[in-house]
Structure 1
Amino acid sequence: MQIDEENLEAYALGCGLLGGGGGGETRTAVLMAREAIREHGPIEVAGLGDLADDDFLMPCGLLGAPTVSLEKVPARDEGDRLVAAVQELTGRAVAALMCVEIGGSNGLFPLIWAVRRGLPVVDADGAGRAFPQLLQMSMHVTGVPVAPVVLTDERHNVVTLGGEITTHWAERLCRSTAVAFGGRACAAMFTMDAKQARRAAVTGSVSHALSLGELLVRHRTDPFGALSEKPGVVVLARGKIADVVRVTQGGFARGSAIVHGTGDDRGRMIRVEFQNENLVAIEDGQVVATTPTVICLLDDTTAEAVATEELQFGQRVAVVLLPCDDVWHSPEGLEVAGPRAFGYDIDVTRPAGVR
């Protein structure tokens, strides 16, 4: 499989959908990916089954507050420094890159870095969506060591974390480093071989994002009708954003958005709470959906995902719910990705149609 100029837009639409409001807005990344494809050719996507057991994989992406990325544009060569540092630290040649998470721009920047180096991208990721913390990576849940961790920025600063550092400490130190970098860092972590990845990663993520995006492209005149007919997807309501509260704090964009229903949904009010990603949806005081279900706000006309850093008063949106990978509904997954992991004293809520 390849990502080229013809299917790049569809792929980005799928990444935005799986971002659940997080992972960063995709428009800037699409422009950079298109330029990289024109310069280096199509991006090769390899299935984990196509790789040798000992092929060395480097999961990577952006880390920090997505609001910063609206002004702090990557320099494109961050992936070169990540690969060089990982290879020096491990003494192994990187055979392929992997999106640390498929959601938002984190589903795109690893592809840009890979094609610049002539490497494939693996059809897998660490979440099957976007999540705000390193703890919410399937590799952490399945016991893959987080170290070595490499962080870099557009100023060519490079910070490495090694030894037997835990994922909890890596999260704290990576977050503070991202803040020191100006709010965002490019990072590589959870390096592993293909044999480990078959057990630890969420497989088929790239092809899934492409499939979702192609569905939206094929049904531009009625994207929400097409989504509502897809098994496991629920179009909860359509309306207008009446209020947004958002602060950038400690490397996260935190806040809430209130959606007043319009048309057939007039009279309904849904509040969506977010910490980089949309985590809880509440209607009339009742919780209707929580993480790890993917909670999306999509533009009501184009069906493009609206990232949490882009939410503003007056936008017309649809609230859409998508299923997550099964790993997040395991006891270990819910411990790090359920609502209580983010400070919400509520039980996991998954609507009946989201399976």
Structure 2
Amino acid sequence: MSWTITAEHIDGLARGAAVLGTGGGGDPYIGALLARQALADTDVTVVGLDEVPDDALVLFVAMMGAPTVMVEKLPSLDEVVEPVRALGVHLGRPVTHIACAEVGGVNSTIPIAAAAALGLPLIDADGMGRAFPELQMVLPTLHGVTASPLAFSDEKGNTGVLQTVDNSWTERIARVACVEMGCSVMISGFSMSGVQARESLVADSLSRCIEIGEAIARARDSKTDPVAAAVALLHGRELIDGKVVDVQRATTTGFARGRARIDGAGDTSITLQFQNEHLVAEQDGQVLVTTPDLIMVLDGESGEPVTTEALRYGQRVRVAAAPADERWHSAAALAMVGPGYFGYDMRAHRFDGTISTGGTETESGVLSEGNEPR
């Protein structure tokens, strides 16, 4: 059933999306500012996947680049809508619906701004159910939806449309352009029909973001535990409550890469590895959780999500984990987003403590040959 998103929804949505963004997706405050600006004079109609016509033309709208850069390189509404307009011209037919590539940080709110500015409906769904750092890392890739033609634009007025042989090549070429254009660009692509959208997207993502974000705010207002409220909604568990004692971070090849260590009570310690998003959580040398499952850092008292670029020495934080959409645990999905793809020589440790082995699981805890590191 369709509903209307207004400026009053934005705080909760941005907060919940930053939780699901697993540390990536950019500063939710920036995305919230863009969405509020676009919603100042109009509302946006949000439709469920079952309401999208079979012959619809659905496009993703997103920011591509390093979240650390976007803190200082703010996009404008013109920059957000230009790729959609360019792609509509290239495809030779009107765009009918906007969708989120990911429900993470700014990439949950930028599509709201695009939909408002263009007068188009927004689909209550996304391509991941979380955030991932590379363009091809969406469920539509597993369903044969091509990223290209992909349109991109920057704050200088540069606009391009890219046609490639597959989604991995789209990522590789677009990433080079992104770096040359300042490590942050707006993109639009993954054109799909309503049939393809229903088959490949994660339903009710925006509603879930609002539910999580508002639950954190309610718990804080009622003096109950906001982190516990979020973890319960995510069917997750808390890994550690502690202090950030070390952060190593650098912006390289268009990504924010690094690691952070959180020390808890006694001698407990967790190390997080990230590339825009948190990818691996280890405790005392033992792997607890890996991508594709969700690893989230929240402020220890307020429950506000903490992005990887906002991690600072001395912060009191709580780290939680939760299961990803089950489709991310197929063999093909793990080859695309599992720890081996990012260069970690390990199997994908599932949130529930078992080890994913390309579609099968084992309780043994024995690591054998898996995806080769890049």
Q: Do the two structures share a fold, i.e. TM-score over 0.5?
A: yes
One-letter code of the match for 2:74?
V
Corresponding position of 1:322 = 322
Once residues 131 and 234 of structure 2 are traced to their aligned partners in structure 1, the CA distance between those partners, rounded to angstroms, is 21
2:292 maps to what in 1? 292
Q: Which residue of 1 aligns with 2:39?
A: 37
In the aligned structure 2, how far is the partner of 1:195 from the partner of 1:229?
Answer: 33
Partner of 2:28: 26
Structure 1 residue 232 and structure 2 residue 240: aligned?
A: no
Among the aligned pairs, what percent are the same residue? 40
State how far apart, in whole Å, the 2-side matches of 1:276 and 1:202 are. Answer: 21
Deviation at 1:35, TM superposition (A): 2.3
Residue of structure 2 in register with 1:302 after alignment: 302
Q: Structure with the greater relative contact order (CA < 8 A, sep ≥ 6): 1 or 2?
A: 1
* Residue in structure 2 matched with residue 210 of structure 1 by the alignment: 210
Q: For residue 6 of structure 1, report the CA deviation from its aligned partner.
A: 2.2
Q: How far off its partner does 1:229 sit?
A: 3.5
Which region of structure 1 is more displaced relative to structure 2, 47-56 or 18-27? 47-56
Given the alignment of the two structures, is residue 258 of structure 1 paired with residue 274 of structure 2, yes or no? no
User: For 1:260-293, what per-residue CA distance to the aligned partner results, in whole angstroms no more than 9, with x for missing partners?
Assistant: 11xxx34311000001100000100100010011
Deviation at 1:194, TM superposition (A): 1.0
Pick from 246, 251, 256 the counterpart of residue 249 of structure 2.
Answer: 246
Amino acid at match of 2:198: R
The answer to whether the Cα contact below 8 Å between 1:260 and 1:267 also exists between their aligned partners in 2 is yes
Matched, 1:200 2:200: yes
Pair 1:101-2:102 in alignment: yes
What is residue 7 of structure 1 aligned with on the other side? 9
Classify the secondary structure of the residue corresponding to 1:341: coil
**CA deviations over 1:228-261 (Å, ceiling 9, x no partner):** 4346211111111001000111011110000011
Alpha-carbon separation, structure 1, partners of 2:87 and 2:37: 26
The within-5 A match list for 1:1-355 is: 1-40=3-42, 42-162=43-163, 164-220=164-220, 221=223, 222-230=225-233, 232-261=235-264, 265-352=265-352
* CA contact 2:212–2:233 (8 Å) conserved in 1: no
Aligned length: 349
Aligned equivalents of 1:224, 1:80: Cα separation in 2:
35
Whole-angstrom CA distance in 1 between matches of 2:115 and 2:78: 10
The Cα of 1:305 is off from its aligned counterpart by: 1.2
The residue identity in structure 2 corresponding to 1:325 is D
Moved more, 206-215 or 66-75: 206-215
Q: 1:223 to 1:266 in 2, by over 3 A?
A: farther
2:183 & 2:165 partners in 1: Cα distance?
Answer: 22
Report the 3-state secondary structure (helix = DSSP H, G, I; strand = E; otherwise coil) of the residue aligned with 1:135.
coil
TM-score normalised by structure 2 residue count: 0.90
CA 149–66 in structure 1, closer or farther in 2 if over 3 Å, else same: same
- Contact 2:61/2:114 (CA < 8 Å) preserved in 1? no
Shift of 1:146: 1.5
Q: Which moved more, 1:135-144 or 1:274-283?
A: 135-144
Out of 55-64 and 42-51, give the one that drifted further.
Answer: 42-51
2:126 and 2:205 in contact (8 A); partners too: yes
Structure 1 position 315, deviation (Å): 1.0
Distance 1:196 1:246 in 2: 38
Asked if the contact 1:232/1:353 (under 8 Å) is kept, the reply is no
CA distance in 2, matches of 1:22, 1:107: 12
**TM-score, with length taken from structure 1:** 0.95
> RMSD in angstroms over aligned alpha carbons?
1.4
**Cα distance between partner residues in 2 of 1:22 and 1:231:** 17
Q: Residues of 1 paired with 2:290 and 2:337: CA distance?
A: 10
